[in-house]
Structure 1
Amino acid sequence: MHSRIADSEAMHQFGVHLAARLRTGDLVVLTGPLGAGKTTLTRGLGEGLQVRGAVTSPTFVLARTHPSTIGGPSLVHVDAYRLANAMELDDLDIDFAHSIVVVEWGRGMLDGITDSWLDIEIERPTGASTAHADADVDLDADEPRTVTVTAHGPRWSPTAWPQVP
């Protein structure tokens, strides 16, 4: 499924909408360049799941657990950017079975973790994927993004795929 997300508020709302379809044990893998909206989408998930704590990028701590305020599953937000391989991810000892886990930059590191997951790729039109520290690209630009959701495994039948509101 391909969708166009108009701005950061719409990306946040997409996360809220997606949260309503997630359940304990679900895995969401987010891929996209710096500033694409991965953390913004995850903030929406946190709001929709009604978890405790501000959802911020876990770049320096690698993983943050946000417990539910309503008795639901915790949201575990992982940033795998600085991890070299799946073994380093495994060393984080994440409770995949009893949480909803969102992994930024995790594509290719999660083989064998579960038989079903959502792969969400976010693309920016300005080419931020080629941005470097010295490049003059506005990583905070609030511009449209293209979101591609690919469902893997038996959990995500075609009728269960999240749709952008």
Structure 2
Amino acid sequence: MHLPDEAAAHALGVRLAAVLRPGDVVALSGPLGAGKTSIARGVLAALGLEGEAPSPSFAIVQPYDPPEVRFSVLHVDLYRIEDPEEVRELGLDEVLDEAALLVEWPERLGDDPWPDALWLTLAFDDAGGRRLTARVPGAWESRWPLT
């Protein structure tokens, strides 16, 4: 899929929000500036967040709960994580029954910690914009591709 600009990445997030539900993990992978946060912001806006969601680069986890959004979502940025063991302390797996996770830089965890995650990888396209590829597990097959 080609995303010509930031607005297209945001729009993809809006479409993703329509099929997202508690218990889902969306892994957002790609280099700095590729559009991971734009997709997450689109999801959060479509779920009801007013204003722009801050990047959780320094907080690592930015929670959003009703009534701010339709259901609980954790926006996670693992860029500053140096050891995958540090993530266990965040307690992300404990909230999966009631929240969705939007995880930037999931590759910092090494082995695939969430085999049912929708894995979206962004890359800079030589023609401009971004190129998005998706790894779609069984849990997402009826919801992907987005319409």
Structure-1-length-normalised TM-score: 0.77
Which residue is 2:12 aligned to?
A: 14
Give me the whole-angstrom Cα distance separating, in 1, the residues matched to 2:28 and 2:103.
6
Distance in 2 separating the partners of 1:50 and 1:62: 22
Q: Say yes or no: does 1:45 pair with 2:28.
A: no
Q: Give unmatched runs, 5+ long, in structure 2.
A: none
Q: Report what 1:122 is aligned to.
A: 122
CA displacement 1:102-136 (0-9 Å, x = unmatched): 1100126275754411000011136xxxxxxxxxx
**Runs of 5+ unmatched residues, structure 1:** 127-142
For residues 98 and 110 of structure 2, what CA distance do their matches in structure 1 show? 16
Deviations 1:55-79 (A, max 9, x none): 1211111110011337732110111
Percent identity for Structure 1 against Structure 2: 33
Pairwise CA distance, 1:162: 3.4
TM, length-normalised to structure 2:
0.86
Alignment of 1:16-165 (within 5 A): 16-51=14-49, 54-69=52-67, 72-94=70-92, 95-107=95-107, 109=109, 113-125=113-125, 143-152=128-137, 154-157=138-141, 159-163=142-146
Cα root mean square deviation, aligned: 2.2
Count of residue pairs brought into register by the alignment: 144
Q: What SS class does the counterpart of residue 45 from structure 1 fall into?
A: helix
